Amino acid sequence: MKYAIKHQSPGQLHIQLPKRRLTGTEADVLYYGLVENQNVISAHVFQRTAAAVIKFRKGAQEEILKLLDAMDLHSQEAIDELPGVSSRATNEEFKDKAAGKILVRLAKRTLVPFPVRAVWTLYNGAPYIREGLKDLFQRNFSAEIVHASAILASFLTGDFSTASSIIFLTDMGEMLEEWTYKKSVDDLAQSLSLNVTQVWKETEEGVFVKCGIQEVKDGDCIRVGMGSMIPLDGVVVSGEAMVNQAALTGESVLAEKHLDSTVFAGTVLEEGELVIQVRATSGKTRYDRIVQLIEESESMVSVTQSRAEKVVSRLIPYTFGTSIITGLLTGNLTKAASVLMVDFSCAIEVAMPIAVLSTMREAGRHQITVKGGKYLELVSEADTIVFDKTGTLTNATPVVEEVVALDGRDPDEMLALAACLEEHFPHSLANAVVKAARDKGLDHEEVHTNPNYIVAHGIVSSLNGERVVIGSSHFVLEDEGAYISDEDRERVLAMPIQYSRLYMAIGGRMAAVIGISDPIRPESTQIINDLRRAGIKNIVMMTGDSDRTAQAIAAQAGITEYYSEVLPEDKAKYVQAERDKGRKVIMIGDGINDSPALSAADVGIAIKEGADIAREIADITLSGKELDKLVILRQLSKELLVRMNRTAWIGIAFNGAILLGGIFGLVMPGTAALLHNTSTIGLCLNNMRNILPEEPEEA
């Protein structure tokens, strides 16, 4: 792409493209090409002047210049990957609308004769009066009745100028409120968009190989295993499975998928395995459905907001009644119309949802994905947190320290086979095995068949006709009854006690034990203390590991209550029992086996590096590497409630003052409309501000 640098400073570039104006598509390609780069902090694309301002991380200027050089604004591939809803395009659309309305009003007032303006005002006011009468006949005391009454009162007094002002200001206020709301939704949807980089694609030889998602084309077949997210829309060509579609449909019941069933990107395969023929690769449908879900989901509405809406809805009839009484006592319809311009509901129905959406967006800045406003409120009220150990309190990237090959087998071959099995069902320990094989350069072909994951136990597959199992000692040695010689048993017992261990057997005989160090996260102790100071009274750790390992980790983290050797159902039962006691419970985990407990908790929090199904079931996902995101999440949720309550009281107080001004004739209808809409927009803009101060970027 050709461009010129107009101005540069540390961490920022201002570029100019060699054209007078960008098309909407060109501007979107440039914008999303920039903001999706990890080195870009923010980007502003100016469509009318074909310019852009890019703020980037310190030391990344060379990478940004390379990105700009390689960018093609007319690339069909880039155009296909654009989201169906564009935040940048939304801004441009509403700017044009606002400018158009203001220009039309100025032209009308200066160029159009009064009789024509009066007829025009009657025509524009008719829809407001019609909607108000409709709600009145249905006994629905809404803001539309109030607005319609104010406009009608102005018509009856012959004050067409005031009626025109009321219509214009109400229309502008509604448009600006819609603008701020849609911008918040678009920004949030962008942060929730699907982020899958690799898939299992079928080759011409019928073998499935791992490749980048950008290499998949329409008509290609991909394989999706249990616990994984379906990355692209498509149709099932083989296999049967139960799919969790709650993220798209809101339904908690699993959907059965079989031959010829349609599957959607972003849903999670909970049971079984599918081979899918891809029908859409752009990701556009996923983004559009996220936007729809955000706009329709009841989870966006917090309890505080619902209570406030009920309070203000009761005030509307009183506003209407006050207007009638004012008109009767004073005989002044202008005063009555001024009272009617007061609408207590706007600040609640518009500004409070924006506060929720803005806080969710800010959480995204801190690498926290929140799926609904009610979960933020529940986090603020929580008094109990239950931690899974592995990959949560302990390091998210455990390391393979030792491979003890048994039964005369080769350690590297065993590590390669273990990685080949584990890469199908990623969790923290599985990722450690895959990384260890990759670091040693151990390439592994898909020599096994039909790997299946057994929750809380391990993986079962077949190799050259022999049964292969990998997992816990209980699963491999007891449930599977794998044979191990006395000599090999002594070698296993000699492994350091701090290692977590993966046992693997082939053909009923122990083949290897993989020792994995899983050190506690360095910040865990501090985070536990910070959570206690933030009001969390009960902090619990639960793990399937041995009591010896659990005790050591709990002691290091400063946790006094812990449970070891627990199954997934045990975690879920404990969480439910705590809720039955009246406690608000947060569950934090990262694996498939944490999913039941994540579902049972008031708020389920997943670690992004864990299993897809855990992230999908969870209400909140932490994408960062450090647990301090929990403390930030608690701060955001607490401050959100403060902001929402403040919004409600300010909205009620300000509109109450306008109402009194109207009663005493201090505020005219047009002024009342201006003050009312200005206050609502002001609250919306205030609620779009970040709650926490912006931290300086790392060098």
419 plus 380 within the same structural domain? no
Q: What is the mean pLDDT of residues 434-458?
A: 76
Encode pLDDT of 341-354 as tens digits: 666 666 676 777 77
Share of the chain above pLDDT 90, in %: 20
Amino acid at 215: E
Smallest CA-to-CA distance from 78 within 214, 221, 191, 187 is with 214
414 plus 511 within the same structural domain? yes
421 plus 540 within the same structural domain? no
Query: Starting at the edge strand that comes first in sequence, how are the strands of the sheet with 51-56 ordered?
Result: 4-9, 12-16, 51-56, 40-46
Q: What is the mean pLDDT of residues 431-440?
A: 89
For 497-601, where are the E strands, in sequence order?
A: 500-506, 509-517, 538-542, 561-563, 585-589
Distance CA 358, CA 362 (A): 6
126 plus 244 within the same structural domain? no
Across 18-32, 387-401, 507-521, 572-586, least confident range: 387-401
619 plus 653 within the same structural domain? no
414 plus 441 within the same structural domain? yes
513 plus 532 within the same structural domain? no
Q: What is the mean pLDDT of residues 414-434?
A: 84
Is position 23 within any domain? yes
Smallest CA-to-CA distance from 181 within 302, 291, 96, 45 is with 291
What band does 447 get if pLDDT is binned at 50, 70 and 90?
low
CATH of the domain at 446: 3.40.1110.10
Is position 291 within any domain? no
Encode pLDDT of 583-621 as tens digits: 999 999 876 677 788 888 999 998 866 665 666 677 888
More confident of the two residues 696 and 131: 131
Which of 22-36, 170-184, 236-250, 281-295 has the largest mean confidence? Answer: 22-36
pTM of the model: 0.62
More confident of the two residues 659 and 505: 505
What band does 288 get if pLDDT is binned at 50, 70 and 90?
low
Q: What is the mean pLDDT of residues 330-348?
A: 69
Encode pLDDT of 157-178 as tens digits: 777 877 787 787 777 767 766 7
For 157-257, where are the E strands, in sequence order?
A: 198-202, 208-212, 221-224, 233-244, 255-257
Query: Token match 């812990």: residue?
Result: 562
125 plus 181 within the same structural domain? yes
692 contacts 380 by C-beta, under 8 angstroms = no
- Cβ count within 10 A of residue 15: 21
538 plus 608 within the same structural domain? yes
| Res 532: pLDDT | 93
Would you say residue 457 has pLDDT above 80? no
More confident of the two residues 592 and 549: 549
Encode pLDDT of 60-74 as tens digits: 888 899 999 999 998
Give the chain's domain count: 5
- Cα–Cα distances (Å) from 377 to 359, 635, 647, 685, 692, in that order, read 11, 11, 16, 21, 17
Share of the chain above pLDDT 70, in %: 80
Is position 654 within any domain? yes
Q: What is the mean pLDDT of the chain?
A: 80
Distance CA 633, CA 173 (A): 32
What band does 138 get if pLDDT is binned at 50, 70 and 90?
confident
More confident of the two residues 556 and 246: 556
Would you say residue 695 has pLDDT above 60? no
Would you say residue 474 has pLDDT above 90? no
Amino acid at 560: T
Structure-token pair, residue 421: 């099995």
More confident of the two residues 53 and 669: 53
Q: What is the mean pLDDT of residues 426-441?
A: 84
648 plus 608 within the same structural domain? no
Q: What is the mean pLDDT of residues 66-95?
A: 78
- Cβ count within 10 A of residue 481: 9
Distance CA 537, CA 204 (A): 58
Would you say residue 58 has pLDDT above 80? yes
What band does 107 get if pLDDT is binned at 50, 70 and 90?
confident
Q: 443-469: buried (b, 16+ CB within 10 Å) or exposed (e) per residue?
A: ebeeebeebebebbbbbbbebeeeebb
What band does 626 get if pLDDT is binned at 50, 70 and 90?
low
Across 33-42, 45-54, 606-615, least confident range: 606-615
| Res 547: pLDDT | 79
411 plus 435 within the same structural domain? yes
Q: What is the mean pLDDT of residues 431-445?
A: 84
| Res 200: pLDDT | 86
Is position 38 within any domain? yes
Encode pLDDT of 204-252 as tens digits: 888 888 877 767 888 899 998 877 778 788 899 998 888 877 655 545 5
Distance CA 33, CA 78 (A): 8
Distance CA 513, CA 406 (A): 8
Specify the long-range contacts of residues 322-327, CB closer than 8 Å, at least 24 apart: 322/659, 322/663, 323/149, 326/662, 326/663, 327/153
Would you say residue 192 has pLDDT above 80? no
Is position 699 within any domain? no
CATH of the domain at 226: 2.70.150.10
128 plus 262 within the same structural domain? no
| Res 270: pLDDT | 75
| Res 314: pLDDT | 65
Query: Token match 């940004």: residue?
Result: 64
More confident of the two residues 450 and 622: 622
| Res 389: pLDDT | 83
CA-atom Rg of the chain in angstroms: 30
Is position 694 within any domain? no
| Res 298: pLDDT | 42
Would you say residue 291 has pLDDT above 60? no
Is position 218 within any domain? yes
| Res 624: pLDDT | 57
Range of the domain at 538: 374-385+522-623
What band does 39 get if pLDDT is binned at 50, 70 and 90?
confident
Tell me which of 247, 282, 317 is where a domain ends. Answer: 282
Across 106-110, 257-261, 535-539, 611-615, least confident range: 611-615
Q: What is the mean pLDDT of residues 404-428?
A: 87
Is position 618 within any domain? yes
CATH of the domain at 609: 3.40.50.1000
Tell me which of 82, 106, 136 is where a domain ends. Answer: 82
| Spatial CB neighbours of 451, under 8 Å, sequence gap ≥ 6 | 225, 421, 424, 425, 459, 460, 461
Tell me which of 517, 538, 553 is where a domain ends. Answer: 517
